[in-house]
Chain A
Amino acid sequence: MRAKAKPEAEAITTEMTGAEVLIHSLKKENVEVLFGYPGGAVLPIYDALYRSPIKHILSKHEQGSIHAAEGYARVSGKPGVVIATSGPGATNLVTGITDAMMDSLPLVIFTGQVASTVIGTDAFQEADIMGITAPITKHNYQVRDVQDLPRIIKEAFHIASTGRPGPVLVDIPKDVANKTISPDYDSTIHLPGYQPTFSPNILQIKKLADAVGQAKKPVILAGAGILHANAGKELLTFTEKNKIPVVNTLLGLGSYPGQHPLFLGMGGMHGTYTANMALYECDLLISIGARFDDRLTGNLAHFAKNAVVAHIDVDPAEIGKNVPTQIPIVSDAREALRKLVDVDSETPDTEEWRSQLTENSKNYPLWKKTNTDEFLPQQVVELVHEYTKGDAIITTDVGQHQMWAAQYYAFTDANRWVTSGGLGTMGFGFPAAVGAQLAFPDQTVVALTGDGGFQMTLQELSTLQELNLPVKVVIMNNHTLGMVRQWQEAFYEKRYSHSLLPVQPDFVKLGEAYGIKSYKVTTQEEARGVFEEAFSHRDPVLIDCRVSGKENVYPMIAPGKGLHQMIGVKP
């Protein structure tokens, strides 16, 4: 939209370099914090930043920057902004960009590029980041003409944060950053090929409302789309009105109150028996903002095979991709739920269905070993829950600790759960906690990580030290790559090929080397004492929890099996 009149201050804007235009545009986008790492090709940008009040968080590796930006974006809903230099700086971002693409996180990434005159000559620190990131970004730009910079930045923020959110990369050659122009900030967004659907087709909504009225065994699968659309309240209203039980995806946790009687838990490979059987037996499945990932559906031949499938998603490409869908609804989740509630329709009689599910929950709850002296990893999650009153922001990597956190933390609120779902990135959780803490400085943020994943990005302890961020790093240390070991035990006749980590650094000394209060605990009792202390102050803490190395995550659906073929549902 074109501004009616230029504000006085801008009308007299003098000439600026491309780098200054960038910083000015970031201010206009209300960017509060940048995650980055300087280098040759971004020297002009860092020079402009030197005179800017925008907060810049210097990570110790570009992967730390991008995961921090992801954590920031996940909890705040605002785009995470990253700056890295050309070549290795840019390629170090690749894992995080892919992670954000898979989990639909809004990021705007600025990479430096070698000067236009030497692009394509294999110049020092040149990488074809446009080519490299084409498949892992929602969109990417290379700025060829500095006059385009204000428009490109506007478009980048718009694309990243609307529709299905995702990462957008802007590649800026060094000479473009250096070039002086009189910028035109009024340039309008012009994206004729990008018109995401926001409101649902009302006929489809009525069709779904009718299906709801006739259903005997309806269930809702609520994914991260609920969180992105800020639709938790509407979901609650709709489900309570119609008494429809809710299953969460891994990434959707927190979109529905974890203690609600209609809540069945997480579905999928390590979901609850009740949730998976509900997905298996239902006669109406309403998926909202979820994408039927293979870890959720199990073998598709057995997935919701007697159900009418309705799918509400802002991304039309997700509808019908994995599961045939009878009622497709392309829409923002909140808009669709509002319209659904407004439609005058019958409410289904789900009492029998619900009592069947309640019976399942009673008979097949999540379970862990009892009568053991071992310090169990599940107990770590329960203790974290207890000492944070279930209200902390929890970040994780991927693997056993992630699944236990998902199973045992019982999230009650939205945007408290930051995990690497689609890509399953080790080393994600700790830097993501740094970003989440910066978004919400007063919140308790816990990086629940494994001993394997933590060692992939532990250099960010230095960032905690520098900023004195009160992140609590809780390492669920079982001396193994737990999920790898579990699969080797189950499917490779216990041949633990390179999954045991008997030799480790002394994590306490490591933490102390960065000036961070660090503890080692080996029993639940010891843990209580340390947690009590650790969660009572606003300093960073590292706690090395030496838990049993032999625990497996149950229940489980083996690969290739259907949701009804869970193993380990009982002790």
Chain B
Amino acid sequence: MKRIVTATVINQSGVLNRITGLMTKRQFNIESITVGHTETEGVSKMTFVVNVDGDGKIEQLIKQLNKQIDVLKVSDITDQAIVVRELALIKVISNAQIRSEISGIIEPFRASIIDVSRESITVQVTGDSEKIEAIIDLLRPYGIKEMVRTGITAFPRGSQKSVTDIKQFSILN
């Protein structure tokens, strides 16, 4: 099963190496990893999506991460109400004739065209992984020349009670 794990870390050199190293050592598969600054100076947050076999394994991963000196906090937020976002850049083969057609397709996704050339356009889309999968599926018939995805970044919602948008759960199963 896929789990979303976040780790708050002190922004020291080598901390990323230690964390990915321990995941390799303990045979955890990292599906995606994002790292960036937080509201506190010198503190970064990592979001991993990992594929694990069972509850025991995820518990072990969290404990091992917690043991790292530069790790301040580790949470498995999969089962919480969370906001999850990922960004994808998709370069689609497109001439002038079908540009507006693609434009129509991506519009409901609130995606935008950020680069245009004679043979292609580049679409930028943000959202949860499911939404990105959906837009990729729609664009694939036109020919995807190049694509990059950032991997997800996530944190718990401000309020854990009023969960209406529970899509986040399904994308991870």
Indicate which residue in A134, A144, A191, A320 contacts B21 across the interface (CB closer than 8 Å): A134
Partner of A317, one of B17, B21, B25, B66: B66
- What residue in chain A is nearest B9 (Cβ atoms)? A193
- Report yes or no: B69 in contact with A159, Cβ–Cβ below 8 A: yes
Compute how far the CA of A131 lies from the CA of B70 in the bound complex, rounded to whole angstroms.
16
Residue-wise interface mask of B (113-147) relative to A, using a CB-CB cutoff of 8 A (1 in contact, 0 not): 00000000000000000000000000000000000
Question: In the assembled complex, how far is the CB of residue B45 from the closest CB belonging to chain A, in whole angstroms?
Answer: 13
Our pick among B9, B18, B71 for the contact of A134 (Cβ within 8 Å) is B18
Interface: B60 (CB within 8 A):
yes
Least Cβ–Cβ distance between B63 and chain A, in angstroms = 4
Which chain A residue lies CB-closest to B18? A134
Interface residue ranges of B72-104 to A (CB < 8 Å): 72
Chain B: how many interface residues by the 8 Å CB criterion? 21
Do the beta carbons of B17 and A131 come within 8 Å of each other? yes
Asked if B56 is at the interface (CB within 8 A of a chain A CB), the reply is: yes
Are A192 and B10 in contact, with the CB atoms below 8 A?
yes
Contacts of A484 in B (CB 8 A): none
Residues of B within 8 A of A193 (CB): 9-10, 68-72
Main secondary structure of the interface of B (DSSP, over half): helix
Shortest A134–chain B CB gap in Å is 5
Q: Which A residue's beta carbon lies closest to that of B24?
A: A135
CA distance A359 to B58 in the complex (A): 43
**Quick check: A192 and B67 within 8 Å, CB to CB?**
no
Alpha-carbon distance between A194 and B67 when the two chains are bound, in angstroms: 8
Q: Mark A349-373, 1 if CB is under 8 A from B, else 0.
A: 0000000000000000000000000
Tell me whether B17 and A316 are in contact (CB under 8 A): no
In the assembled complex, B162 has its CB within 8 A of some CB on chain A: no
Q: How far is the CA of A191 from the CA of B60 in the complex (A)?
A: 22
Complex CA–CA separation, A159 to B14 (angstroms): 17
**Which among A144, A159, A193, A316 has the greatest number of chain B C-beta atoms within 10 A?**
A193
The docked-state distance in angstroms from the alpha carbon of A131 to that of B13 is 11
- Nearest CB to that of A130 among chain B residues? B14
- Kindly provide the distance from the CB of A254 to the nearest chain B CB, expressed in whole angstroms: 27
| Complex alpha-carbon distance, A193 and B68, angstroms | 8
Interface pair B69/A316, CB less than 8 Å apart: no
Could you give, for residues 16-59 of chain A, a 1 whenever the CB lies within 8 Å of some chain B CB and a 0 otherwise? 00000000000000000000000000000000000000000000
A135 touches B21 (CB 8 A): yes
Nearest-Cβ distance from residue A472 to partner chain B, whole angstroms: 39
Q: Is B22 an interface residue (CB 8 A)?
A: yes
Contact assessment for A192 and B72 in the assembled complex, using a CB-CB cutoff below 8 Å: yes
Other A-B contacts than A134-B17, A193-B9, A317-B67, 14 sampled, CB-CB below 8 A, are: A134-B21, A135-B25, A138-B69, A139-B68, A140-B14, A142-B14, A159-B69, A191-B69, A192-B72, A193-B10, A193-B70, A315-B67, A316-B66, A317-B66
20 contacts between A and B (CB under 8 A): A134-B14, A134-B21, A138-B69, A144-B13, A159-B69, A191-B69, A192-B10, A192-B72, A193-B10, A193-B68, A193-B69, A193-B70, A315-B67, A316-B63, A317-B60, A317-B63, A317-B64, A317-B67, A320-B56, A321-B60
> What are the 8 closest A-B residue pairs judged by CB atoms, nearest first?
A317-B63, A139-B69, A193-B72, A194-B69, A134-B18, A135-B21, A134-B21, A193-B71
